[in-house]
Amino acid sequence: MTENASAAEPLAADSAIAVVGMSGRFPGAPDLDTYWKNLLGGLCSVTDFTEQELIADGADPQEVRGRDYVPAKGHLADADRFDAELFGFNRSEAAALDPQHRLLLQTAWSALEDAGRSPRGGTARTGVYVGGGPTEHMLAAQTDPRLAASIGALQVRILTDREFLAPWISYRLGLQGPSLTVQTACSTSLTAVHLAVQSLLLGECDTALAGGVAVDTVRKRGYVHQQGGIYSPDGRCRPFDERAGGTVPGNGVGVVVLRRLSDALADNDPIRAVIRGSAVTNDGATKVGFTAPGVDQQTAAIVEAWAAAGLDPADAQYLEAHGTATALGDRIEAAAASAAFKGALGTGRIGIGSVKSNIGHLDAAAGVAALIKSVLMLEHATLVPNADAGRPHPELGFDDSPFHLIERPAAWPEPEHGPRRSGVSSVGIGGTNVHVVLEEAPRRTGAEAPDAQGAAEVLLLSARTREDLSALAGRLAGALRAAGAPSLADTAYTLHQGRTPMAVRGYVRAADRAGAAELLAELASGGGAVGLGGPDPLGEAWLAGEPVVREGGGRRVSLPSYPFAGESHGAYRLGPVAPVEEQPEQGSGFADLEQGVRALLAEALGLADADDPEMTYFAAGGDSLTAVHLVGCLRDDFDLDVPITLFLEQLTLHEMARRIVAAGEGDDSLDALLSEFEAE
């Protein structure tokens, strides 16, 4: 223990940040429960592809059969699936929307639900701080003239460029706090967490979403190993290991929900861990090259973060390192961390590891994957190993350092003074270094009260489809049967306060968790399960779509989030650019012209046709940007000058087509367009 005895310092609730919700999808793990099981088992979730798999998914056969091709990656399954309708995108928009945007929207939704907060619960001051990497889809979509001709060049950019990752979340979820897309290469998502922390402490927002996503391609891909490069020759990443040979690319997405600790305690939020401090630095010119890491500013980031926490780095029991397993990167990081944690030099008592051994290097999502791993370890009071951990590399000097490499799962002993604490580091190409100080959640008395005997509760569920409702009921049944399940009162409170009401609804009424789980399982299998004597007035009002007011209190708890089951929307791939097909010459008759306009409307809105007489422009997913695109197409393709105000009216597509043809001429009202933007 250090001389300043800082480990015994009390937790300052007004300067600490609570992690109240989390969600993520990582290689081999569609949810965080599976992620934790994989980490606990020391499992490497990097996928080894066969030659047939790669070629069938569009890889170049000549490259795949090359001597230096490594058929391995931290692959994210079903990365092209998206519940477009839930988020208000039509089919054309959903197909154009970059997979990173799709995944981040769904993960942000799930993280808010994990925090016990309705994803569309109002206009509270909620900030968004996220980032992503470059994608094959974005490059292909932005260079495809056919797509630009179909939905408009500006719309293509807005749907694919990573600078719009944060604004799409704010827009679709109605969040009115700061909305920043962050880019610091490999340290992007942990930098986003740091910025979110600062924003909360400054009072710019009261809740913040922070994280990142990396899906360079949804297809099965390996990589080409180059001697002296950063990638491993055998498809395995072994940070700080004597067998370390480089990193392995991977895809994933993660989001955490943050609140000031004082607010989280006051609101009975489900606190999963606490951020005591964070810091960010840059190496500047003090390194051998632009892509090389530097010792001094990595050390500074760690020291400044622990100083911001009012603690000494030596108070840590674990360090989740960046850990790329490259010769230069690991050596510099070990030297920088040893200098920062010098109060524990020679003790070897601080465990060290890197999640890259399990899932590969997730680029912009690497930092949040590491942070979530560390939060889970604190929650479970368990240290997890590097996957396939071996002996430390002798050149790192761990024998005389503060560190020991975690080789197998072990209980995380409670420190003699103070709570369990860890540091999380992330380093970006270009020199941006980030460090976050984590602490286990404060103990709360009476947090897990048993179910009151005979006190019946109504559990309200809703989903977009009947299938989703069944899946949700099944998940909730499993959660209530699990060890440490929340009380029935807290479950009912969270479902009522922390979920967005949808069209397909169901409910059960029970007096204890076991009874509720049984009824939920019946609901999951297609039954109408209500329970305890028949229909309940609150539940029946819920089924009728009426507003319901639940009597009785409770606290927000972590429950299963929405079971997204959207269809595959694919992804654009790079290839030869096809020429834009010329528009066929339009017929001269009024009927032919109207039919051509209907076809244009259908194409822009992603409809098979525009023949539904009841379908309106807005119901089909039309908006102001689509209107701007259509005005241009009508002028260029049909020689029709149509006022944009026409698209701001509640018209069916049939009536709109007739009015367009009849209008013929009109002014392009910029004022109307600006008004429409304001209205949105």
How do residues 105-115 score in pLDDT, each as one tens digit? Answer: 999 999 999 99
Which residues on neighbouring strands pair with residue 98, listed in sequence order?
none
Distance of alpha carbon 485 from alpha carbon 478, whole angstroms:
9
Distance of alpha carbon 657 from alpha carbon 615, whole angstroms:
12
Distance of alpha carbon 486 from alpha carbon 232, whole angstroms:
44
pLDDT at 453: 54
pLDDT class for 450, splitting at 50, 70, 90? low
* pLDDT at residue 678 tops 60: no
Distance of alpha carbon 142 from alpha carbon 214, whole angstroms:
18
Q: What integer is the mean pLDDT of 541-552?
A: 90
Burial (Cβ within 10 Å: 0-12, 13-18, ≥19) of residue 97: buried
Stretch among 253-267, 315-329, 581-595 having the lowest mean pLDDT: 581-595
pLDDT at 68: 95
One-letter identity of residue 457: E
| Contact assessment for residue 200 and residue 208, using Cβ atoms and an 8 Å cutoff | yes
pLDDT tens digit string along 87-127? 999 989 999 999 999 999 999 999 999 999 999 976 679 99
Which residue, among 558, 498, 440, has the nearest Cα to 114 in the 3D structure? 558
pLDDT at 11: 63
Distance of alpha carbon 664 from alpha carbon 643, whole angstroms:
9
Helix ranges (H only) for 2-114 are: 32-40, 51-56, 61-64, 91-96, 99-114
b/e per residue 596-615 (b: at least 16 CB within 10 A) = bbbebbbbbbbbeebeeeeb
| Contact assessment for residue 510 and residue 492, using Cβ atoms and an 8 Å cutoff | no
Distance of alpha carbon 647 from alpha carbon 656, whole angstroms:
8
Q: Which residues contact 611 (CB under 8 A, 6 or more apart)?
A: 598
Q: What integer is the mean pLDDT of 293-303?
A: 95
Q: How many CB atoms lie within 10 A of CB 349?
A: 12
> What angle, 0 to 180 degrees and rounded to 10, lies between the N-to-C axes of helices 466-481 and 513-524?
150
* pLDDT at residue 202 tops 50: yes
pLDDT class for 137, splitting at 50, 70, 90? very high
pLDDT at 620: 80
pLDDT at 618: 78
Which residue, among 311, 302, 268, has the nearest Cα to 415 in the 3D structure? 311
Residue in the structure block whose two tokens are 């922070």: 210
Q: What integer is the mean pLDDT of 159-178?
A: 96
Share of the chain above pLDDT 70, in %: 90
pLDDT tens digit string along 556-599? 999 999 999 889 999 998 764 444 444 444 434 556 777 888 88
Which residues on neighbouring strands pair with residue 25, listed in sequence order?
253
Residue in the structure block whose two tokens are 């498809």: 235
pLDDT at 595: 80
Q: Which residues contact 590 (CB under 8 A, 6 or more apart)?
A: 661
* pLDDT at residue 178 tops 70: yes
| Contact assessment for residue 416 and residue 1, using Cβ atoms and an 8 Å cutoff | yes
pLDDT tens digit string along 628-655? 777 778 877 787 877 877 777 778 888 8
pLDDT class for 180, splitting at 50, 70, 90? very high
pLDDT tens digit string along 598-635? 888 888 887 877 677 777 887 787 776 677 777 778 87
Q: How many CB atoms lie within 10 A of CB 54?
A: 21
Stretch among 270-284, 312-326, 584-598 having the lowest mean pLDDT: 584-598
* pLDDT at residue 10 tops 60: no
pLDDT class for 428, splitting at 50, 70, 90? very high
Write out the two tokens for 349.
């008592």
